[in-house]
Amino acid sequence: MGSQGLEVSAQGLGCMGMSAFYGAPKPEPDMIKLIHHAINSGITFLDTSDIYGPKTNEILLRKALKGGMRDKVELATKFGIREVNGAREYCGDPAYVRSACEASLERLGVDCIDLYYQHRIDNRLPIEITLDSCAYVSTQGSPSYESYACTHQIGTFDVSFHADKDPLRIPLTLNYSLKFRALF
């Protein structure tokens, strides 16, 4: 994936629906079994976010990745959406990026996140400020692979300013529904 050496299975496991958004959270033991089944079937990329649950999805992954399972996967989580007074807002300011990363590390029960990326773009500040924050977090040992990324906002983020440095650092996650055969 990208140009930094991160190698993952062709198919990954997005864990959002286990804890949020598609009905009630699923029974934890069932979701842990599902995660183990995916890993034992060759899936090596697990994707979550601090907003899933919120926060409970990362805790679910911590429980599922015990007993050596963590060593078998590359773990991705996202930042950029937070709850403030019951409303969601997009945030990319430096203090938030650092605190969100630290909180995710704790919830996931890991020393290092393999891929840490921005869920939504904070249009209140230049994207370079958020990118600098990601670079700072990377120098502190997590993530293993820097990700100057945006997801779900295809068409609204001009990445050309960074293309001269590393054009493959922008992973995109599409909200494609197999059920509805459409992008969300």
The residues assigned a catalytic role are 52
Quote the CA–CA distance of 177 and 184 in Å, as a whole number: 7
The beta-strand segments (E) located in 16-170 are: 45-47, 74-79, 81-84, 87-90, 115-118
Quote the CA–CA distance of 98 and 142 in Å, as a whole number: 10
| Beta strand 13-14 pairing with 115-118 | unpaired
* Residue (of 42, 32, 54) closest to 12 by Cα position: 42
Region of 2 (left: φ > 0; alpha: ψ -120 to 50; beta: rest) is left
* Residue (of 31, 38, 51, 35) closest to 9 by Cα position: 38
Task: Read off the amino acid at residue 84.
Answer: V
Quote the CA–CA distance of 46 and 61 in Å, as a whole number: 9
